[in-house]
Chains A and B, each alone.
Chain A
Amino acid sequence: MWDWGFALEILPTLAKAAIVTVQVTLLGFLIALSLGLALAAARIMQPWTAVPISLAVELIRSTPLLIQIFFLYFVGPSFGLTLDAMTAGILAIGLHYAAYCSEVYRAGFESVPRGQWEASVALNLGRWTTLRDIIIPQAIPPVVPALGNYLVALFKETPLLSAIAVMELMQSAKIIGSQTFRYNEPITLVGLFFLVMSLASAWAIRRVEAGINRRYRR
Protein backbone atom coordinates (compact mmCIF):
# COMPACT_ATOMS: atom_id res chain seq x y z
CA MET A 1 0.00 0.00 0.00
CA TRP A 2 2.82 2.38 0.85
CA ASP A 3 5.84 2.20 -1.44
CA TRP A 4 8.93 3.86 0.04
CA GLY A 5 10.83 3.57 -3.25
CA PHE A 6 8.09 5.46 -5.09
CA ALA A 7 7.89 8.05 -2.32
CA LEU A 8 11.64 8.71 -2.60
CA GLU A 9 11.41 8.83 -6.37
CA ILE A 10 8.79 11.62 -6.40
CA LEU A 11 10.43 13.57 -3.59
CA PRO A 12 12.61 15.79 -5.86
CA THR A 13 9.57 16.75 -7.99
CA LEU A 14 7.61 17.64 -4.89
CA ALA A 15 10.54 19.55 -3.43
CA LYS A 16 10.68 21.70 -6.57
CA ALA A 17 6.95 22.38 -6.29
CA ALA A 18 7.34 23.18 -2.60
CA ILE A 19 9.57 26.10 -3.60
CA VAL A 20 6.71 27.50 -5.70
CA THR A 21 4.37 27.06 -2.72
CA VAL A 22 6.76 29.00 -0.52
CA GLN A 23 7.15 31.72 -3.18
CA VAL A 24 3.38 32.09 -3.48
CA THR A 25 3.08 32.22 0.30
CA LEU A 26 5.72 34.91 0.76
CA LEU A 27 4.63 37.11 -2.14
CA GLY A 28 0.96 36.74 -1.24
CA PHE A 29 1.68 37.61 2.38
CA LEU A 30 3.76 40.61 1.34
CA ILE A 31 0.74 41.96 -0.57
CA ALA A 32 -1.56 41.15 2.35
CA LEU A 33 0.70 42.90 4.87
CA SER A 34 1.26 46.09 2.88
CA LEU A 35 -2.23 46.45 1.42
CA GLY A 36 -3.78 45.58 4.79
CA LEU A 37 -1.74 48.29 6.47
CA ALA A 38 -2.65 50.78 3.75
CA LEU A 39 -6.37 50.02 4.19
CA ALA A 40 -6.22 50.29 7.96
CA ALA A 41 -4.23 53.54 7.76
CA ALA A 42 -6.64 54.98 5.18
CA ARG A 43 -9.54 54.41 7.57
CA ILE A 44 -7.79 56.49 10.20
CA MET A 45 -6.45 59.25 8.00
CA GLN A 46 -9.53 59.66 5.78
CA PRO A 47 -12.64 58.81 7.83
CA TRP A 48 -14.91 58.88 4.77
CA THR A 49 -13.14 55.75 3.45
CA ALA A 50 -14.30 53.72 6.47
CA VAL A 51 -17.65 52.69 4.98
CA PRO A 52 -16.44 51.61 1.51
CA ILE A 53 -13.43 49.83 3.02
CA SER A 54 -15.43 47.93 5.61
CA LEU A 55 -17.91 46.98 2.90
CA ALA A 56 -15.11 45.68 0.67
CA VAL A 57 -13.54 43.79 3.58
CA GLU A 58 -16.91 42.22 4.41
CA LEU A 59 -17.39 41.21 0.75
CA ILE A 60 -13.96 39.62 0.50
CA ARG A 61 -14.22 37.79 3.79
CA SER A 62 -17.72 36.46 3.03
CA THR A 63 -16.96 34.75 -0.26
CA PRO A 64 -14.73 31.74 -0.97
CA LEU A 65 -11.12 32.33 -2.00
CA LEU A 66 -11.54 29.75 -4.75
CA ILE A 67 -14.24 31.84 -6.43
CA GLN A 68 -12.12 34.97 -6.03
CA ILE A 69 -9.21 33.21 -7.72
CA PHE A 70 -11.48 32.20 -10.61
CA PHE A 71 -12.88 35.71 -10.75
CA LEU A 72 -9.46 37.34 -11.11
CA TYR A 73 -8.20 34.72 -13.53
CA PHE A 74 -11.25 34.33 -15.79
CA VAL A 75 -13.06 37.66 -15.42
CA GLY A 76 -9.94 39.83 -15.52
CA PRO A 77 -9.44 39.40 -19.30
CA SER A 78 -12.97 40.77 -19.99
CA PHE A 79 -11.78 44.04 -18.47
CA GLY A 80 -8.45 43.98 -20.27
CA LEU A 81 -6.59 42.57 -17.28
CA THR A 82 -4.94 39.39 -18.51
CA LEU A 83 -2.84 37.71 -15.85
CA ASP A 84 -0.94 34.46 -15.96
CA ALA A 85 -2.14 31.85 -13.48
CA MET A 86 0.67 32.41 -10.98
CA THR A 87 0.19 36.21 -10.86
CA ALA A 88 -3.60 35.93 -10.63
CA GLY A 89 -3.27 33.39 -7.84
CA ILE A 90 -0.79 35.42 -5.80
CA LEU A 91 -2.87 38.56 -6.28
CA ALA A 92 -6.11 36.80 -5.25
CA ILE A 93 -4.53 35.29 -2.13
CA GLY A 94 -2.87 38.60 -1.28
CA LEU A 95 -6.13 40.55 -1.64
CA HIS A 96 -8.09 37.98 0.35
CA TYR A 97 -5.70 38.09 3.28
CA ALA A 98 -5.25 41.85 3.02
CA ALA A 99 -8.90 42.05 4.09
CA TYR A 100 -8.17 39.92 7.16
CA CYS A 101 -4.90 41.73 7.94
CA SER A 102 -6.51 45.17 7.72
CA GLU A 103 -8.84 44.16 10.56
CA VAL A 104 -5.83 43.00 12.61
CA TYR A 105 -4.02 46.30 12.04
CA ARG A 106 -7.20 48.17 12.92
CA ALA A 107 -7.31 46.40 16.27
CA GLY A 108 -3.67 47.37 16.74
CA PHE A 109 -4.36 51.03 15.95
CA GLU A 110 -7.32 51.07 18.31
CA SER A 111 -5.18 49.70 21.14
CA VAL A 112 -2.93 52.81 21.00
CA PRO A 113 -4.28 55.28 23.60
CA ARG A 114 -5.92 58.44 22.20
CA GLY A 115 -3.53 60.51 24.33
CA GLN A 116 -0.73 59.59 21.93
CA TRP A 117 -2.54 61.41 19.10
CA GLU A 118 -3.26 64.37 21.36
CA ALA A 119 0.34 64.55 22.56
CA SER A 120 1.50 64.56 18.92
CA VAL A 121 -0.82 67.48 18.16
CA ALA A 122 0.63 69.28 21.18
CA LEU A 123 4.12 68.64 19.81
CA ASN A 124 3.05 70.08 16.45
CA LEU A 125 3.67 66.84 14.56
CA GLY A 126 1.84 66.37 11.28
CA ARG A 127 -0.80 63.64 10.99
CA TRP A 128 1.35 61.51 8.70
CA THR A 129 4.41 61.94 10.89
CA THR A 130 2.34 60.95 13.91
CA LEU A 131 1.04 57.87 12.16
CA ARG A 132 4.45 56.82 10.89
CA ASP A 133 6.66 57.61 13.87
CA ILE A 134 4.33 57.43 16.88
CA ILE A 135 1.30 55.25 16.22
CA ILE A 136 2.56 52.48 13.91
CA PRO A 137 5.60 51.60 16.05
CA GLN A 138 3.25 51.09 19.01
CA ALA A 139 0.41 49.46 17.11
CA ILE A 140 2.32 46.76 15.22
CA PRO A 141 4.25 44.72 17.82
CA PRO A 142 1.17 43.55 19.77
CA VAL A 143 -0.50 42.27 16.59
CA VAL A 144 2.51 40.41 15.18
CA PRO A 145 1.29 37.02 16.51
CA ALA A 146 -2.16 37.54 14.97
CA LEU A 147 -0.50 38.41 11.65
CA GLY A 148 1.65 35.30 12.00
CA ASN A 149 -1.47 33.17 12.36
CA TYR A 150 -2.75 34.59 9.08
CA LEU A 151 0.59 33.76 7.45
CA VAL A 152 0.04 30.12 8.41
CA ALA A 153 -3.59 30.26 7.25
CA LEU A 154 -2.50 31.75 3.91
CA PHE A 155 0.16 29.07 3.52
CA LYS A 156 -2.47 26.38 4.01
CA GLU A 157 -4.72 27.93 1.34
CA THR A 158 -2.06 27.90 -1.40
CA PRO A 159 -3.19 24.44 -2.65
CA LEU A 160 -6.25 26.24 -4.05
CA LEU A 161 -4.01 27.59 -6.80
CA SER A 162 -3.93 24.08 -8.24
CA ALA A 163 -7.47 24.87 -9.47
CA ILE A 164 -5.98 27.26 -12.04
CA ALA A 165 -3.04 24.93 -12.71
CA VAL A 166 -0.26 26.79 -10.89
CA MET A 167 2.52 24.25 -10.49
CA GLU A 168 2.59 24.32 -6.71
CA LEU A 169 2.76 21.36 -4.35
CA MET A 170 -0.82 20.14 -4.70
CA GLN A 171 -0.88 20.48 -8.49
CA SER A 172 2.35 18.55 -8.80
CA ALA A 173 0.97 15.82 -6.50
CA LYS A 174 -2.19 15.65 -8.61
CA ILE A 175 -0.15 15.32 -11.80
CA ILE A 176 1.99 12.56 -10.31
CA GLY A 177 -1.24 10.87 -9.22
CA SER A 178 -2.87 11.02 -12.63
CA GLN A 179 0.28 9.83 -14.42
CA THR A 180 1.04 6.87 -12.14
CA PHE A 181 -2.42 6.16 -10.69
CA ARG A 182 -0.81 6.31 -7.25
CA TYR A 183 -2.34 9.09 -5.16
CA ASN A 184 -1.36 7.53 -1.88
CA GLU A 185 2.26 8.66 -1.60
CA PRO A 186 2.14 12.11 -3.26
CA ILE A 187 -0.90 13.37 -1.35
CA THR A 188 0.26 11.94 1.96
CA LEU A 189 3.66 13.56 1.49
CA VAL A 190 2.03 16.91 0.68
CA GLY A 191 -0.08 16.57 3.82
CA LEU A 192 3.01 15.81 5.90
CA PHE A 193 4.83 18.80 4.44
CA PHE A 194 2.00 21.12 5.45
CA LEU A 195 1.74 19.53 8.88
CA VAL A 196 5.45 19.93 9.61
CA MET A 197 5.56 23.50 8.30
CA SER A 198 2.43 24.51 10.23
CA LEU A 199 3.62 23.00 13.50
CA ALA A 200 7.02 24.63 13.05
CA SER A 201 5.46 28.03 12.34
CA ALA A 202 3.06 27.69 15.27
CA TRP A 203 6.09 27.09 17.48
CA ALA A 204 7.94 30.05 15.94
CA ILE A 205 4.92 32.33 16.48
CA ARG A 206 4.73 31.32 20.14
CA ARG A 207 8.42 32.19 20.53
CA VAL A 208 7.97 35.59 18.85
CA GLU A 209 4.89 36.23 21.00
CA ALA A 210 6.82 35.46 24.17
CA GLY A 211 9.65 37.75 23.04
CA ILE A 212 7.26 40.60 22.29
CA ASN A 213 5.48 40.19 25.61
CA ARG A 214 8.78 40.41 27.42
CA ARG A 215 9.91 43.54 25.59
CA TYR A 216 6.67 45.51 25.46
CA ARG A 217 5.14 44.66 28.83
CA ARG A 218 3.57 47.83 30.14
Chain B
Amino acid sequence: MGLRGLAGLLALTIATIWYLSGLEDYRIFVPGLAQGAAMTVQITAAAAVLAVTAALVAALLKLYGPAPLRWLAVTYIEIFRGTSALVQLFWLYFVLPVFGITLEAYTAAVIGIGLNIGAYGAEVVRGAIVAVPRGQWEATVALNMSRAQALRRIILPQAFAAMIPPWGNLFIELLKTTALVSMITLGDLAFRAQQMNQTTMKTVQIFTLVLLIYLAMSLVITIAMRLLERRAGRGILRARAA
Protein backbone atom coordinates (compact mmCIF):
# COMPACT_ATOMS: atom_id res chain seq x y z
CA MET B 1 0.00 0.00 0.00
CA GLY B 2 1.23 3.48 -0.85
CA LEU B 3 1.98 6.19 1.70
CA ARG B 4 -1.20 8.03 0.83
CA GLY B 5 -3.31 4.89 1.25
CA LEU B 6 -1.73 4.20 4.62
CA ALA B 7 -2.34 7.76 5.80
CA GLY B 8 -5.97 7.48 4.66
CA LEU B 9 -6.39 4.19 6.50
CA LEU B 10 -4.87 5.71 9.64
CA ALA B 11 -7.23 8.68 9.45
CA LEU B 12 -10.17 6.32 8.98
CA THR B 13 -9.07 4.15 11.91
CA ILE B 14 -8.64 7.11 14.24
CA ALA B 15 -11.98 8.56 13.14
CA THR B 16 -13.67 5.22 13.87
CA ILE B 17 -12.04 4.99 17.31
CA TRP B 18 -13.13 8.59 17.97
CA TYR B 19 -16.70 7.90 16.87
CA LEU B 20 -16.98 4.64 18.83
CA SER B 21 -15.54 6.10 22.02
CA GLY B 22 -18.33 8.68 22.02
CA LEU B 23 -21.04 6.00 22.03
CA GLU B 24 -22.85 5.03 25.23
CA ASP B 25 -21.76 1.36 25.01
CA TYR B 26 -18.11 2.15 24.52
CA ARG B 27 -17.50 5.24 26.63
CA ILE B 28 -16.93 3.40 29.91
CA PHE B 29 -14.01 1.47 28.45
CA VAL B 30 -12.09 4.46 27.16
CA PRO B 31 -10.16 5.45 30.34
CA GLY B 32 -9.03 1.88 31.04
CA LEU B 33 -8.03 1.18 27.46
CA ALA B 34 -6.21 4.52 27.27
CA GLN B 35 -4.12 3.51 30.29
CA GLY B 36 -3.45 0.14 28.72
CA ALA B 37 -2.49 1.76 25.42
CA ALA B 38 -0.04 4.05 27.24
CA MET B 39 1.62 0.99 28.80
CA THR B 40 1.77 -0.74 25.40
CA VAL B 41 3.42 2.31 23.82
CA GLN B 42 5.90 2.57 26.69
CA ILE B 43 6.93 -1.10 26.47
CA THR B 44 7.11 -0.92 22.67
CA ALA B 45 9.41 2.10 22.77
CA ALA B 46 11.71 0.72 25.47
CA ALA B 47 11.91 -2.73 23.87
CA ALA B 48 12.57 -1.18 20.44
CA VAL B 49 15.61 0.69 21.80
CA LEU B 50 16.92 -2.52 23.38
CA ALA B 51 16.19 -4.53 20.23
CA VAL B 52 18.13 -2.17 17.95
CA THR B 53 21.07 -2.09 20.36
CA ALA B 54 21.12 -5.86 20.84
CA ALA B 55 20.81 -6.43 17.09
CA LEU B 56 23.72 -4.10 16.25
CA VAL B 57 26.00 -5.59 18.91
CA ALA B 58 25.11 -9.20 18.05
CA ALA B 59 25.50 -8.64 14.31
CA LEU B 60 28.87 -6.91 14.65
CA LEU B 61 30.13 -9.60 17.03
CA LYS B 62 28.91 -12.37 14.75
CA LEU B 63 30.68 -10.75 11.79
CA TYR B 64 33.87 -9.33 13.26
CA GLY B 65 34.13 -10.48 16.89
CA PRO B 66 36.86 -12.74 18.26
CA ALA B 67 35.86 -16.43 18.40
CA PRO B 68 34.36 -16.67 21.92
CA LEU B 69 32.30 -13.49 21.48
CA ARG B 70 31.22 -14.67 18.04
CA TRP B 71 29.94 -17.94 19.52
CA LEU B 72 28.15 -15.98 22.22
CA ALA B 73 26.39 -13.87 19.58
CA VAL B 74 25.43 -16.94 17.53
CA THR B 75 24.08 -18.70 20.63
CA TYR B 76 22.04 -15.63 21.58
CA ILE B 77 20.57 -15.32 18.09
CA GLU B 78 19.72 -19.02 17.75
CA ILE B 79 18.18 -19.34 21.22
CA PHE B 80 15.97 -16.28 20.91
CA ARG B 81 14.93 -17.06 17.33
CA GLY B 82 14.43 -20.74 18.07
CA THR B 83 12.02 -20.52 20.99
CA SER B 84 8.67 -18.81 21.48
CA ALA B 85 8.51 -15.25 22.73
CA LEU B 86 5.95 -16.33 25.34
CA VAL B 87 8.25 -19.08 26.63
CA GLN B 88 11.07 -16.55 26.87
CA LEU B 89 8.91 -14.13 28.87
CA PHE B 90 7.82 -16.89 31.24
CA TRP B 91 11.38 -18.03 31.62
CA LEU B 92 12.58 -14.52 32.51
CA TYR B 93 9.70 -13.88 34.88
CA PHE B 94 9.14 -17.23 36.60
CA VAL B 95 12.36 -19.24 36.18
CA LEU B 96 15.06 -16.61 36.61
CA PRO B 97 14.10 -15.98 40.28
CA VAL B 98 15.08 -19.61 40.94
CA PHE B 99 18.61 -18.64 39.97
CA GLY B 100 18.47 -15.65 42.33
CA ILE B 101 17.63 -12.96 39.76
CA THR B 102 14.19 -11.48 40.33
CA LEU B 103 12.93 -9.10 37.68
CA GLU B 104 9.91 -6.86 37.88
CA ALA B 105 7.24 -7.72 35.32
CA TYR B 106 7.99 -4.53 33.40
CA THR B 107 11.74 -5.18 33.27
CA ALA B 108 11.19 -8.82 32.26
CA ALA B 109 8.82 -7.69 29.51
CA VAL B 110 11.18 -5.10 28.04
CA ILE B 111 14.21 -7.42 28.24
CA GLY B 112 12.33 -10.44 26.88
CA ILE B 113 10.70 -8.67 23.93
CA GLY B 114 13.73 -6.50 23.22
CA LEU B 115 16.09 -9.46 23.08
CA ASN B 116 13.60 -11.55 21.09
CA ILE B 117 13.19 -8.95 18.33
CA GLY B 118 16.88 -8.07 18.62
CA ALA B 119 17.79 -11.63 17.64
CA TYR B 120 15.75 -11.34 14.43
CA GLY B 121 17.14 -7.84 13.93
CA ALA B 122 20.72 -9.13 14.23
CA GLU B 123 20.22 -11.17 11.06
CA VAL B 124 18.72 -8.12 9.32
CA VAL B 125 21.70 -5.97 10.31
CA ARG B 126 24.16 -8.69 9.32
CA GLY B 127 22.47 -9.12 5.93
CA ALA B 128 22.56 -5.37 5.29
CA ILE B 129 26.26 -5.09 6.22
CA VAL B 130 27.20 -8.07 4.05
CA ALA B 131 25.25 -6.54 1.14
CA VAL B 132 27.49 -3.44 1.05
CA PRO B 133 29.72 -3.92 -2.03
CA ARG B 134 33.24 -5.28 -1.33
CA GLY B 135 34.80 -2.37 -3.18
CA GLN B 136 33.74 -0.08 -0.33
CA TRP B 137 35.91 -2.06 2.09
CA GLU B 138 38.79 -2.05 -0.34
CA ALA B 139 38.46 1.71 -0.78
CA THR B 140 38.66 2.23 3.00
CA VAL B 141 41.87 0.17 3.08
CA ALA B 142 43.27 2.32 0.28
CA LEU B 143 42.38 5.42 2.31
CA ASN B 144 44.24 3.96 5.31
CA MET B 145 41.15 3.82 7.53
CA SER B 146 41.05 1.49 10.50
CA ARG B 147 38.38 -1.21 10.48
CA ALA B 148 36.35 0.56 13.13
CA GLN B 149 36.52 3.83 11.21
CA ALA B 150 35.51 2.08 7.99
CA LEU B 151 32.53 0.47 9.71
CA ARG B 152 31.35 3.64 11.37
CA ARG B 153 31.89 6.09 8.53
CA ILE B 154 31.49 4.06 5.36
CA ILE B 155 29.82 0.67 5.83
CA LEU B 156 27.12 1.23 8.47
CA PRO B 157 25.67 4.41 6.90
CA GLN B 158 25.17 2.51 3.64
CA ALA B 159 23.85 -0.60 5.37
CA PHE B 160 21.44 1.61 7.34
CA ALA B 161 19.34 2.45 4.28
CA ALA B 162 18.94 -1.23 3.39
CA MET B 163 17.91 -2.09 6.96
CA ILE B 164 14.95 0.25 7.26
CA PRO B 165 12.19 -1.73 5.49
CA PRO B 166 12.87 -5.01 7.35
CA TRP B 167 13.13 -3.09 10.63
CA GLY B 168 9.70 -1.64 9.89
CA ASN B 169 8.31 -5.18 9.80
CA LEU B 170 10.19 -6.07 12.97
CA PHE B 171 8.79 -3.07 14.85
CA ILE B 172 5.27 -4.19 13.89
CA GLU B 173 6.15 -7.67 15.16
CA LEU B 174 7.46 -6.05 18.34
CA LEU B 175 4.25 -4.10 18.88
CA LYS B 176 2.22 -7.28 18.38
CA THR B 177 4.48 -9.23 20.73
CA THR B 178 3.84 -6.73 23.52
CA ALA B 179 0.33 -8.22 23.79
CA LEU B 180 2.02 -11.22 25.45
CA VAL B 181 3.08 -9.19 28.48
CA SER B 182 -0.54 -9.37 29.65
CA MET B 183 0.27 -12.98 30.54
CA ILE B 184 2.97 -11.94 33.01
CA THR B 185 0.49 -9.65 34.78
CA LEU B 186 1.47 -6.34 33.17
CA GLY B 187 -1.39 -3.89 32.59
CA ASP B 188 -1.06 -3.33 28.85
CA LEU B 189 -3.85 -2.98 26.30
CA ALA B 190 -4.47 -6.74 26.02
CA PHE B 191 -4.51 -7.09 29.81
CA ARG B 192 -7.02 -4.28 30.33
CA ALA B 193 -9.19 -5.75 27.61
CA GLN B 194 -9.29 -9.16 29.30
CA GLN B 195 -9.91 -7.60 32.70
CA MET B 196 -12.81 -5.45 31.53
CA ASN B 197 -14.16 -8.33 29.50
CA GLN B 198 -14.40 -10.44 32.63
CA THR B 199 -16.18 -7.76 34.63
CA THR B 200 -18.56 -6.36 32.00
CA MET B 201 -18.89 -9.15 29.40
CA LYS B 202 -19.18 -6.46 26.70
CA THR B 203 -16.87 -8.49 24.54
CA VAL B 204 -17.72 -7.07 21.12
CA GLN B 205 -17.23 -3.45 22.14
CA ILE B 206 -14.00 -4.01 24.04
CA PHE B 207 -12.21 -6.16 21.51
CA THR B 208 -13.32 -4.06 18.53
CA LEU B 209 -11.84 -0.97 20.17
CA VAL B 210 -8.65 -2.84 21.10
CA LEU B 211 -8.15 -4.18 17.57
CA LEU B 212 -8.63 -0.68 16.15
CA ILE B 213 -6.14 0.81 18.63
CA TYR B 214 -3.50 -1.77 17.72
CA LEU B 215 -4.20 -1.14 14.03
CA ALA B 216 -3.70 2.60 14.51
CA MET B 217 -0.39 1.99 16.32
CA SER B 218 0.84 -0.37 13.57
CA LEU B 219 -0.07 2.17 10.91
CA VAL B 220 1.81 4.91 12.73
CA ILE B 221 4.91 2.68 12.80
CA THR B 222 4.54 1.74 9.13
CA ILE B 223 4.11 5.36 8.04
CA ALA B 224 7.03 6.56 10.18
CA MET B 225 9.31 3.88 8.72
CA ARG B 226 8.23 4.71 5.16
CA LEU B 227 9.11 8.37 5.74
CA LEU B 228 12.45 7.37 7.25
CA GLU B 229 13.08 5.08 4.29
CA ARG B 230 12.37 7.93 1.90
CA ARG B 231 14.79 10.23 3.74
CA ALA B 232 17.57 7.64 3.91
CA GLY B 233 17.05 6.69 0.27
CA ARG B 234 17.16 10.31 -0.88
CA GLY B 235 20.73 10.80 0.37
CA ILE B 236 21.92 7.69 -1.42
CA LEU B 237 20.26 8.55 -4.71
CA ARG B 238 21.84 12.00 -4.61
CA ALA B 239 25.25 10.49 -3.87
CA ARG B 240 24.92 8.13 -6.82
CA ALA B 241 23.83 10.91 -9.17
CA ALA B 242 26.75 13.12 -8.17
Contacts and interface: CB of A to CB of B under 8 A. Distances in A.
A191 interface: yes
B172 A159 contact: no
Interface of A: 1, 54-55, 58-59, 61-68, 70-71, 74-75, 78, 156-160, 162-163, 170, 173-174, 177, 183-184, 187-188, 190-191, 194-195, 198-199, 202
Given A63-B218, A191-B91, A71 B84 contact: no
Nearest to A73: B203
B215 A1 contact: no
B46 to A, nearest CB: 18
Interface stretch (B94-102, B107-115, B145-153, B154-162): B94-102
B204 A78 contact: yes
B95 to A, nearest CB: 5
B136 interface: no
Top 8 A-B residue pairs of the complex, sorted by shortest distance between their CB atoms? A62-B218, A64-B179, A183-B94, A198-B82, A64-B176, A195-B82, A66-B179, A159-B86
Given A61-B172, A75-B204, A195-B79, A159 B84 contact: yes
Contacts of A191: 83-84, 87-88, 91
B87 A183 contact: no
B193 interface: yes
Interface residues of B, number: 42
Per DSSP, are chain B's interface residues mostly helix, strand or loop, or mixed? helix
B86 A170 contact: yes
Given A183-B94, A184-B95, A199-B78, A67 B207 contact: yes
B214 A183 contact: no
Given A64-B179, A187-B95, A71 B87 contact: no
Give the dominant DSSP class at A's interface. Answer: helix
Interface of B: 1, 9, 78-79, 81-88, 90-91, 94-95, 98-99, 172, 175-180, 182-183, 190, 193-194, 197, 203-204, 207-208, 210-211, 214-215, 218-219, 222
Contacts of A184: 95, 98
B194 A70 contact: yes
A208 to B, nearest CB: 18
B91 A160 contact: no
Nearest to A196: B82
A54 B1 CA distance: 8
A58 B222 CA distance: 11
